Amino acid sequence: MDPWRRPAALAWLLWPASLAFRAVVAARRMLYALRLLKSAHPGVPVIVVGNITVGGSGKTPLVLWIAEFLRRQGRSPAIVSRGYGSVGAGPREAAMVSEPAEVGDEPVVMARRSGCPVWVGEDRAAVARALLERHREVDVLILDDGLQHYALRRDIEIAVLDSRGLGNGRLLPAGPLREPASRLRSVDAVVANGLEWPGAFAMRLEGSLLHRMTDANDRRPASAFAGETLHAVAGIGNPERFFLHLRAIGLRIEPHAFPDHHAFRPEELVFGDGRALVMTEKDAVKLRRAAQPHWWVLPVSAELAPRFPEWLLRKLNECSRSKAA
């Protein structure tokens, strides 16, 4: 059952297990802090973008925004990711033409959109070493979904929350939290995607131009589908956020939610009526070989609070000064 939707009675029954999980989380973090568990720093600034909840919260659009912003500032960023759902374990590069089954779906999207090296693997510290050995020009690493990966030391921690907030506020398995809510007090910044959060940088996702999957040059505004009802497919951590976005840009949809990182089979998207279908960019990379003319994809991009870029550059400059000292 989705930990975001635990019935109150079940959450109470799982509370002892949640307490045990909290103890394990606290002990693990302390062991890394005391250097009793091995960790390593790659030698260039590391920006971690993660969350303390399970499921998607908008991390990938934020990672892309940071990568694109740093490139405009003359930096040479690279992205390190777990490559969730991929079959391999060792460090390897994710390219635009990579198979999602080999490197994960989100890394393929990031490789297509960021214009910078994207590497994946279970051991993010080992991935960072391999990446920097191959790409010596890289001067900053962005760690995607790595807030709890303490084996790779970091300089800047950014936690992302979406409109679901912290759910029932309980740790797994009674609720959706990977770490206690108090963890948010120790990160360098909280980015709030579609909700109000004290002291957080506001973020929203923008995008209203649909791309035909069989012809990337065929791009149409949402208004081109006025009067139609489209099938909307999402296999992401929070499908409802995608469906709400589609409605907000004026599309009338019939939603179809799938589990996060779902390995789609083309027949699952045959609804028998020939209507247009729109999906997320993350889902589209897994279905590109089966694309149909009536399938469309809606890319989205992050829009950050105006003060966020200045804050990020200041933090990076502080990292550079401390290393120089």
Contact 296, 210 (CB under 8 A): yes
pLDDT at residue 319, as a whole number: 85
β-pairing, 118-120 with 92-93? Answer: antiparallel
d(CA 300, CA 203): 12
C-alpha 119 chain-centroid distance = 15
pLDDT score at 8: 87
Strand order in the sheet with 77-81: 92-93, 118-120, 77-81, 140-144, 46-50, 156-161, 189-193, 201-206, 301-304
Q: What is the pLDDT of residue 273?
A: 95
Token pair 């907000």 in the structure block, residue: 248
Q: What is the pLDDT of residue 227?
A: 94
pLDDT of amino acid 87: 75
Separation of alpha carbons 257 and 275, rounded Å? 17
- Rounded Cα–Cα distance for residues 257 and 233 (Å): 6
Give the pLDDT confidence score for residue 4 in this predicted structure: 83
Per-residue pLDDT of the chain (325 residues; tens, 9 = 90+): 678 888 888 888 899 999 999 999 999 999 999 999 999 999 999 999 999 999 889 999 999 999 999 999 999 999 999 988 777 779 999 999 999 989 999 999 999 999 999 999 999 999 999 999 999 999 999 999 999 999 999 999 999 999 999 999 999 999 999 999 999 999 999 999 999 999 999 999 999 999 999 998 999 999 999 999 999 999 998 999 999 999 999 999 999 999 998 989 999 999 999 999 999 999 999 999 999 999 999 999 999 999 999 999 999 999 876 665 5
Distance, in Å, from the CA atom of 50 to the CA atom of 232, rounded to the nearest integer, reads 27
SS3 category, 320:
helix
Q: What pLDDT does 1 receive?
A: 64
Number of C-alpha atoms within 13 angstroms, CB side, residue 199?
A: 9
